Structure 1
Amino acid sequence: MKQGSMMLGALLAGGLTAPALAGDGSDSGYAPIRPIAQCLDPSRARSWAMLDSSRLLVDAGRSKYLIELSWSCPELATQPALKFSSRTPSGRICGDVGERVRGGGLPARALLPPPGQEEGCLISRASRLTAEEYEAELRAADSSPSTVRGSVSSGG
């Protein structure tokens, strides 16, 4: 009986720790922006700056955001404007599953997805920045020749 209890305890302990050890590549300490009113409202976005191939700064007036992409999307740098898409009724970008950003200007073959995938670049994280954090990121980006700036298209 004691051996059976030990086996059950080991199985339970293994079952509880295995998912944590396996890891799915996500940051378990991260949660999407809440309340939703704090999320990026694409209709208020004025401009954007591409810091590198997987990070964007978005100026939405009083609110500033850092948008991190799930993978490198250098093709966004060739677009005159960006469009954000959300699966929520509000249309806000919070860093929730399924949110995307895509070129909002002229069609670009590079932005066409492989068959069975949605168009655009998957957003992995959205973070609201203070004005000071935003300005510091912009200053650092301005020293990089690869920084690209543009506008944000309204509509989806």
Structure 2
Amino acid sequence: MKTVTAMLLLALTAAGVAHADGPASDRQPMRPVSECMRPDRINNWAVIDKRTVIVQNGPERYLVKLSADCPRLGIGQSLRFRPNESNRAIGLGPIGPVCGEVGETVSSRDQPPCAIQSVSKIDAAQYKDMEKHAKQHGFLSNGDKP
């Protein structure tokens, strides 16, 4: 019995290490933090597919990739971006910046929170081209407060 328990523990530990190395090594949060997306300044967004959202933040535009499928994202024309606790605490705006770090999420009325994998800047032409293929659109800041 001890051998089975030890083997199970070893297998779970190895699986956890492999899982942690996979997504964590792919994660490249935006830097400097002052360049990250500000949820309190969103004036336009579009859901491209189950794992892709584009956001306009004044003159800046961002590509947001999600860690898993979020099929109901954007229904009800609302998106709520949530930074992780450390970015919420730094004081850039009432909510905090979203940089593509662990613990950041996006949700909507009928979609539980979806983990954000990455956030990157895109130019106006890329945004316009991607927006043509959007499944959902929205136009105003989500106005969420911490």
TM-score scaled by length of structure 2:
0.72
The SS at the match of 1:78 is coil
Name the amino acid aligned to 1:131: A
Q: CA deviation at 1:132?
A: 2.3
Q: Distance in 2 between matches of 1:131 and 1:47?
A: 12
Shift in Å, 1:47: 1.5
Q: Residue by residue, what CA displacement relative to the aligned partner does 1:94-146 show, whole Å, maximum 9, x if unpaired?
A: 0011000111xxx53x53xxxxxxxx1110111111222222322xxx2x4x6
SS at match of 1:56: strand
Does 2:138 correspond to 1:150? yes
Q: Percent identity?
A: 31
Residues 27 and 117 in structure 2, CA contact (< 8 A), matched pair in contact too: no
- Residue 128 of structure 2 corresponds to 135
Do the aligned partners of 2:37 and 2:98 also contact (CA within 8 Å) in 1? yes
Spell out structure 1 runs of 4+ moving beyond 6 A. none
Per-residue CA deviation, residues 36-75 of structure 1 (Å, 9 max, x unaligned), is 1110001111121000011000011110001111111111
Distance 2:121 2:24 in 1: 17
Per the alignment, residue 74 of structure 1 pairs with 71
Q: Secondary structure at the match of 1:102?
A: strand
Question: How many residues end up aligned between the 2 structures?
Answer: 120
User: Aligned residue for 1:58?
Assistant: 55
- Two-structure CA RMSD over aligned residues (Å): 2.3
Alignment partners' CA distance in 2, 1:25 and 1:154: 34
Aligned to 1:6: none
1:49 maps to what in 2? 46
What secondary structure sits across from 1:34 in the alignment?
Answer: coil
1:132 and 1:65 map into 2 onto residues whose CA distance is 12
Of 89, 98, 101, 2:103 maps to: 98
SS at match of 1:76: coil
Unaligned runs of 5+ in 2: 1-17
Change (3 A) 1:132 1:27: farther
The alpha-carbon deviation at position 28 of structure 1 amounts to 3.2
Inter-partner Cα distance in structure 1 for 2:129 and 2:44: 16
Unaligned stretches of 5+ residues in structure 1: 1-21, 112-119
* Residues 1:124 and 1:76: Cα distance change in structure 2 (over 3 Å): same
Q: Which amino acid aligns with 1:148?
A: Q
Q: For 1:64 and 1:126, how far apart are their aligned partners in 2?
A: 10
Letter in 2 for 1:94: C
